[in-house]
Amino acid sequence: MIEHFLPVAYSLGAGFLFALGTHFLSFGMRDGDPQTGALIDIGASTLCFWLLLPFLVEWNYWLTVATAIFIAVGFFRPFLSASLGAWGVRFLGPTLTSTVSATTPLFGAGFGVFLLGEHLTLPVAGGTAAIILGLILLSYRGKVKVAWPVWALLFPLGAAILRAGANSFNKVGLEYVPSPYYAGLVTFTVAFVIALSVQGARRRPMPNFRTHPGLLWFVAAGVVHAVAVTLVNYALQISEVIIVLPLISTYPLFSLALSLLVFKREVLSARAIIAVALVIPGVLLIAISR
């Protein structure tokens, strides 16, 4: 019975940690910028994985097809997907970007069904729809910008597709090498190399923690994200993308809860209550379908 709900626990645990990491990133923004935050965040996650390398990696892993798959995933997530999201915020504003990004589970269902041959049941479809509607409602923050180019929608849509695609291909890689830790190690190492290359190309100075101690929040976010991604990979190893991705995507709900109960940065609204009333039954539908 416990094994039956393990993917749900892993996915929701990852969602909570992603939400916590988002708050840590916001604290770091007081002393840094998004590009610096991304570099430190990804770098801290990469360091966490490499510190455990001698204990959790078998050297024959490097010579498998899975390594090529994980390397490919590292080229577009997390750095590229996060960059597309940032460009979306620039052109569309945070409201519309968050709303479009809430479609990630929908693309995940597409990858799961058409790429991996997963079977989309009625409870999973209904639960996914409820979660997406709840997240869209939760992301709404009043009026959005009127003057924005239609093509700018490609930024948040692209980010949503990349996130869904990354999880789908990671699941394929885990079929060859059943090591959630190894998947995170390879993808984050590639992403960190890309982030460093972009930092160098822009000729931006490296972060200075002595003069900007607030940057340590980015380090904390990276540690949290390393654990979250590992939990995601564990969930993908024993379950399906169409189950895992909607549950992970509930992280805005956890973010709201942290804002209300821990960081005291939000006020509970009727919109948030309705969103919760949609998301929680959606999660339960997916969990029961297991």
pLDDT at 274: 82
pTM for this prediction: 0.88
Q: Which two tokens stand for residue 103?
A: 């479609």
What's the mean per-residue pLDDT of the chain? 84
Q: Which of 69, 78, 80, 281 is nearest to 173 (CA)?
A: 69
CA gap 129, 151 in Å, rounded: 25
**Segment among 15-24, 69-78, 84-93, 161-170 with least mean pLDDT:** 84-93
pLDDT score, position 17: 93
Q: What percent of the chain has pLDDT over 70?
A: 90
Q: Cβ neighbours of residue 233 under 8 Å, at least 6 residues apart? A: 170, 174, 180, 181, 183, 184
- Cβ atoms < 10 Å from Cβ of 269: 11
Convert the pLDDT of each residue in 95-144 to its tens digit. 666 677 778 888 888 999 888 889 888 888 898 888 888 888 777 655 55
Does the pLDDT value for residue 237 go beyond 90? yes
Specify the DSSP class assigned to residue 203: T
Distance separating alpha carbons of residues 19 and 11, to the nearest angstrom: 12
Model confidence at 22: pLDDT above 60: yes
- What is the residue whose two structure tokens read 């973010």? 255
The answer to whether residue 1 scores a pLDDT higher than 60 is no
Is the pLDDT at 203 greater than 80? The verdict is no
Q: What would the pLDDT profile of 147-176 be if each residue is shown by its tens digit?
A: 567 777 788 888 889 999 999 999 999 999
- 95 SS3 class: helix
pLDDT tier at 224, thresholds 50, 70, 90: very high
50 or 274, which is more confident: 50
Q: Which pLDDT belongs to residue 2? A: 60
Distance, CA of 32 to CA of 82 (rounded, Å): 16
What's the confidence (pLDDT) of residue 34? 73
- Give CA–CA dist 49/35, Å, rounded: 22
Residue 231 in tokens: 């939990």
Residue scoring higher pLDDT (93 or 122): 122
Q: How far apart are CA 149 and CA 250, in angstroms?
A: 29
Spatial distance between the Cα atoms of 30 and 9, rounded to a whole number of angstroms: 33
56 pLDDT more than 70: yes
Q: Are 35 and 177 within 8 A, CB to CB?
A: no
Instruction: Work out the average pLDDT over 192-208.
Output: 80
Residue-wise pLDDT for 242-283, tens only, equals 999 999 988 888 888 888 888 776 667 777 788 888 888 888
235 band by pLDDT with thresholds 50, 70 and 90:
very high
